[in-house]
A = this chain, B = another copy of it.
Amino acid sequence: MKAILDLCVVPMGVGVSVSKYIAACEKVLKDAGLKTQLHAYGTNIEGEWDDVMAAVKRCHEVVHEMGVPRISTTIRVGTRVDRSQTRSDKIKSVEEKLD
């Protein structure tokens, strides 16, 4: 089952600057071989459900290992069985309607 996921990891209890933890998550996702795109409030990820979710779990593990006591993450995850659709298909489909 293919999934398109949007991940936003929020480290708690470590001050207001959290970019180093987000960078660590980006590395986890890259190391997992997943296609990703960082944006200003999360990261788009595309892949097989199991691969994507294993990477999300690894993000939590790595961020805790860096000393973060608590994490509150939000995820949007979409699956469809009517046809295949990539992240760029989704964006292109909206942009075509904007022309």
Interface residues of A (CB under 8 A from B): 1, 4-6, 8, 10, 12-13, 15-20, 22-23, 26-27, 37-42, 44, 46, 49-50, 53, 57, 60-61, 64, 69-82, 87-88, 90-91, 93-98
Number of copies: 4
A41 to chain B, nearest CB (A): 4
Q: Which residues of B contact A10 (CB under 8 A)?
A: 10, 12, 72
Q: Which residues of B contact A19 (CB under 8 A)?
A: 90, 93-94, 96-97
Give the nearest-CB partner of A46 in chain B: B40
Q: Is the interface of A mostly helix, strand, loop or mixed?
A: mixed
A41 touching B97, Cβ below 8 Å: no
B74 touching A74, Cβ below 8 Å: yes
Q: Which residues of B contact A94 (CB under 8 A)?
A: 19, 22-23, 26, 38
- A41-B4, A44-B39, A49-B57 known; A13 vs B76 contact (CB < 8 Å): no
Give bound CA distance, A37 to B39, whole Å. Answer: 9
